[in-house]
Amino acid sequence: QVQLVESGGGLVQAGGSLRLSCAGSGRSLSQYLMGWFRQSPGKEREFVAAISRSAVSWSEIRTYYADSVKGRFTISRDNAKNTVYLQMNSLKPEDTAVYYCAADTIATIQIRRDEYEYWGQGTQVTVSS
């Protein structure tokens, strides 16, 4: 079983950047599909980005983004540090939310939250206008 801990959230002005980290323990994150989701008050938890397992061949590694963050956010992984990142640039007030990382052993990219078995506790991102 894998445990996930997010960090890197905070308060930033619109147009600024943050990098979120999701550190894994217990198992290597390279074996997992990794996703980032976010939830703001009164809203459903929504998909942000995902990256396929490192166990597939290099040419098959895929990333996928929600339309709302495409071109601004980048998901990546550092297997040596057992960590997945979400680089967030050009932040907007509507990006304000609690951000969660999630993991699952499934091979294909998934955007539905119920496809992910393991979740971190979340980190707050607040973007001021």
Report yes or no: 67 and 4 within 8 Å, Cβ to Cβ: no
For residue 25 the two structure tokens come to 């323990």
Please give the pLDDT value at position 57.
Answer: 64
pLDDT in tens, 7-41: 999 999 999 999 999 999 999 999 999 999 999 99
User: What is the mean predicted confidence (pLDDT) over 49-57?
Assistant: 81
Report yes or no: 48 and 36 within 8 Å, Cβ to Cβ: yes
